[in-house]
Amino acid sequence: MFLVYINELGRDYKGQRQYEFIFSKQDDVMEDDWYEIPSSGRSVPPELKNIDLVGLLKNSDLELDLVQNSDYFGVVDAADGIIALGWEPFDTESEERPIRISFHYGDTLESVTEKLTTKGLRLINDEIQYKLRK
């Protein structure tokens, strides 16, 4: 499975940030509106026929900047490897330089899972939980 899109759902009733990590068996999924540059919130997730697995990330700490909200790039730029689909923003007020994680178009399910594990997080989905136990 390959990561093809990260969809921001907003906050839930507890104030937790929520993201859908959308995976496909194909690593070449492209939608027409992904060519819009800049994206500026105009892009949409892939069509249902291209989605094979969705993992939900609910957390209160991890904030992601997403390419589809960019004023400079389009989702096509992420598909071409120019920019990540989602990344932790740089904390300009911190004197430390913590390790930030980023998620790229075409990252495998295993890679995404490992990155989230470094932050003590996991995706919620029965299929993913089953695969993680194997």
* Side chain identity, residue 55: G
Domain boundaries in the chain?
Answer: 2-133
Q: Residue ranges of the alpha helices (H) in 80-120?
A: 109-118
Q: How confident is the model at residue 126 (pLDDT cuts 50, 70, 90)?
A: low
pLDDT the model gives residue 92: 66
* pTM, entire model: 0.84
Instruction: Give tens-digit pLDDT for 28-74.
Output: 888 777 777 777 777 788 999 999 999 999 887 889 999 988 888 98
**Mean pLDDT rounded to a whole number for the chain:** 85
Whether the CB-CB separation of 52 and 24 falls below 8 Å is answered with: yes
Q: The tokens of 44 are what?
A: 């949409």
Whether the CB-CB separation of 63 and 5 falls below 8 Å is answered with: no
In which residue are the tokens 């995976």 written? 23
Q: Helix, strand, or coil here: 79?
A: helix
pLDDT value at 106 more than 50: yes
Pick from 70, 21, 71, 63: which is nearest to 46 by CA? Answer: 21
pLDDT value at 21 more than 80: yes
Q: How far is CA 22 from CA 89, 94, 98, in A?
A: 21, 31, 27
